Structure 1
Amino acid sequence: MVTKVKDVIAGVRRRLPGRPAARRGAAFVLRAVAVGSLVGGVVWAAGRTLVVRVPAEAIGVRAARWGEGGIEERDFAAGLHLGLAGWHDWHLLRRGTHLLTFSGEGEDSEAAALDVRTRDGTQARVGACVPFAIRSGEGHRVVQEGMKASYPRLVRATVEKVLVQQMAGLSAQDLTDTAARGEWVRENLDELNRAVRPLHVEAQGILFTSVAFATEYEKKLQQTQLMHQTTQLLDASRVVAEQEEKVATRLQEIERSLQEVTHELDLQMDRLKNESAAELALLVRGTEEYGQEVRLAADQRHAELVSEGNLELYRAEAARTQLANEAYAMPGARLYLARRAAQSLRLSRVTLNSSDPDVPNFMDLDHLTELVLGERE
């Protein structure tokens, strides 16, 4: 490979005879490409010869071809691991859950349904599914004991034997009862795991997929189930009738209690109304009495105040009259009153006697004033 690179560089130089700088640049690029290719090839070859990839769905088991190393006492997880080509051998086992079926159906089924004779002598064909997986950390034991290719068949044979033996303790009725089958699984799963423990696997459960009996027994079983369902229906009808009766009785009790409560509430309402009416009557009567008392007191006080006012008026009038009399008793007042009287005198007809000098002269106001005052005879 190095010789080929040198030949390529020499050919480039011959094609660029008059350009030394260009020849040097091209030679440098070619050398870099050649070195990169060489390093990449070395890394790829080293990876192929030094590193092994274990897939995510597999358990890796490493074994040394030479010396006394043999199979290593460990399981390798998914990822890249050291593996020298020509020195190490790698064994890959399936990681995760295997499905072991007994139904005679599907691509993965290698065995027909289980032929089981129950404890009451009934022949049945039972379909089952048992999920299992290699125990954690024991994959290398499978390879060490030479069961890498045969452990699925060994597990199937062991599981089939244990299931047929343990199902023989069930009755035909138990096979048709879901609760009884579930209880049987809980009781026998540990027994199954003890049987497959030497194969370094663990059963994760037992699933019943089908149960079939002979045709005549199937008919009898259907008649029995029909009778059982009829009995259950009658029992359910009786329970429904009892419950309906209880409900009716309870409704009557509720109705009676409701009537009693309603009657009691009505009595309480009437009592409260009567008490409220009595209290209202007392309040109205008290209000009227209080109003009468207030009005009586107001009338009395009004009369007293009117009397006091009239008395004060009478006193004022008397004082005015007294003052007027005192004022009128004075000479000036008498003169004023006489002059007012003379002015106010109205005569409809006057007969004058010129021969009598004592006849008053009504045309002379002073003369009339003196006559009123009594100062002229």
Structure 2
Amino acid sequence: MENEQVQGTPAEPTITARERWTARLVAAWRFTRSTASAIAKLARRVRASDAYARCVQLARSGSARLRRALGASRGPLLRAALLVLFVEGAVWALTGPLVQRIPPGMVGVRHSPWGAGVEPRDFAAGLHWNLPGLHEWHTIDAGTQVVDFGTFTPALELRTPEGNLVGVAVAVPYRLMEGRAHRLVAESLRSSHADMVRANVEAVLLTELGRASSEDWLDDERRREVLDGAGAAVGAALESLYVEADRVLLQGLRFPAPYETKLLEIQRGTQKRRLSEASANLKQYQLIVDRGVEENSRAVQRLRDERDLELTELRNERKREIRLFEIESEAE
């Protein structure tokens, strides 16, 4: 029969999950016990070694010498140290919450949620009076910051009036106007101020720099005029955000590869033209110098001739005087 067990064949034992976990815990306990036993044996060997005994002896002797050196003054010194620590802790606990520290390079703005609101003044770096629960403080960076296009963010992509694409990498340094930090807090601009500054700078630069032609970017004087005009426009646009910015720094310029090849040829032609003009100017200057040298030589020779003539006349006159003197002497 199918349901009857075959005679002489034992049934396979079944292991429950609880028994498996019990076996694992027993194995882990045995491993831990054996490891602890090995560590204890190693510690006993270390304690039994001469080096360990010498270290313990040196430590005990050093402690004894220190106690003898301190002597009777150990108690007063300890009490004085504890008193100083207690006074410092008490001063910090009492005055710490009453003082607000503004780090260097930052400006503080004090806000009274239960009083007059934002105080209309900026607090410089240092320590200022604070009432917990009555005053809230905001710190704003007062140093120079930079809006960058082209280093950590994509460069500005512009199209010149003649239709050429140009990538311009620029940086615009700016800083908060003096005495205007509290206006940022009062007008709820503190959290979004940096993003608003960047958006305004980008909009102004796209407009101002987009008016420049390819030749403007290639010529030094015209490029400087373009950047100066863009800096003035950026400064005017950022006044409403209480920011000062007066210049735009050019970091890089990129044209499409075919146009850059054309520009390279134009620059080579310009350099050759300037070189020929410089050579012609040099020849003209050389002619002027040669003419001046020749005129100077003639003038020097004329002066020499005049001097020689004067010397000759003086010699002749002296000879005549000497001759007359000799004649008068013979007559006497």
- What TM-score results when the alignment is normalised by the length of structure 1? 0.64
Given the alignment of the two structures, is residue 74 of structure 1 paired with residue 121 of structure 2, yes or no?
yes
Query: Are positions 1:281 and 2:323 aligned together?
Result: yes
1:83 aligns with 2:130: yes
Checking the alignment, whether the CA contact within 8 Å between 2:230 and 2:247 is kept in structure 1 is: no
Name the SS for the 1:273 alignment partner: helix
Q: List per-residue Cα deviations over 1:47-67 (Å, max 9, x = no partner).
A: 2110011111111111123x2
Q: CA RMSD in A?
A: 2.2
Cα separation, 1, equivalents of 2:298 and 2:250: 56
Query: What amino acid does structure 1 have at the position aligned with 2:164?
Result: T
User: CA–CA distance in 2 between the matches of 1:210 and 1:279?
Assistant: 88
- The CA distance in 1 between the partners of 2:207 and 2:255, in whole Å, is 18
Contact between 1:48 and 1:85, CA under 8 Å: does it hold in 2?
no
CA distance in 1, matches of 2:281, 2:82: 93
Q: Is the 8 A contact 2:171 2:251 kept in 1?
A: yes
2:187 paired residue among 141, 145, 148: 145
SS of equivalent to 1:92? strand
Instruction: Work out whether 1:52 is the aligned partner of 2:112.
Output: no
Deviation string 1:269-299 (CA, Å, 9 cap, x unpaired) is: 111111121122223333444xxx3xxxxxx
Q: Counterparts of 1:88-237 in structure 2 under 5 Å?
A: 88-103=135-150, 105=151, 109=152, 111-237=153-279
Identity fraction in percent: 34
Output the CA distance in 2 between the equivalents of 1:285 and 1:90: 119
Deviation track 1:168-212 (CA, whole Å, cap 9, x = no partner) reads 221111112222122223333332122112211111321111111
Show CA shifts across 1:147-177 (max 9, x none). 2232112111110110110112211111122
1:225 Cα deviation from its structure 2 partner: 0.8
**What secondary structure does 1:112 align onto?**
coil
SS of the aligned residue for 2:107 comes to strand
Distance 2:181 2:294 in 1: 73
With normalisation by structure 2, the TM-score equals 0.72
Q: How does 1:13-52 map to 2 (within 5 A)?
A: 39-52=87-100
Distance 1:136 1:276, change over 3 A: same
Structure 1, unaligned stretches of length 5 or more?
A: 1-25, 294-377
Contact 1:176 1:211 in 2 (8 A): no
Q: How far apart are the structure 2 equivalents of 1:138 and 1:199?
A: 9
Distance 1:276 1:63 in 2: 107
Q: 2 CA distance for matches of 1:85 and 1:55?
A: 19
The amino acid of 1:96's aligned partner reads G
Change (3 A) 1:279 1:206: same
Gaps of at least 5 residues in structure 2 are: 1-74
Partner of 1:64: 112
In the TM superposition, residue 39 of structure 1 has moved relative to its aligned partner by: 4.5
- The equivalent of 2:285 in structure 1 is 243
Shift of 1:222: 0.8
Match of 1:300?
A: none
Q: Is the contact made by 1:49 and 1:84 (CA closer than 8 Å) also made in structure 2?
A: yes
Do structure 1's residue 262 and structure 2's residue 304 form an aligned pair? yes
> Is the radius of gyration larger for structure 1 or structure 2?
1
Do 2:156 and 2:168's aligned partners in 1 also have CA atoms closer than 8 Å? yes
Partners of 1:193 and 1:252 lie apart in 2 by 59
SS in structure 1 of the partner of residue 154 of structure 2 = coil
Q: Given the superposition, is the C-alpha separation of residues 42 and 250 from structure 1 closer, same or farther in structure 2, using an over 3 Å criterion?
A: same
AA matched with 2:102? V
Amino acid in structure 2 at the alignment position of 1:61: V
Amino acid at match of 1:178: D
Query: Deviation at 1:37?
Result: 5.8
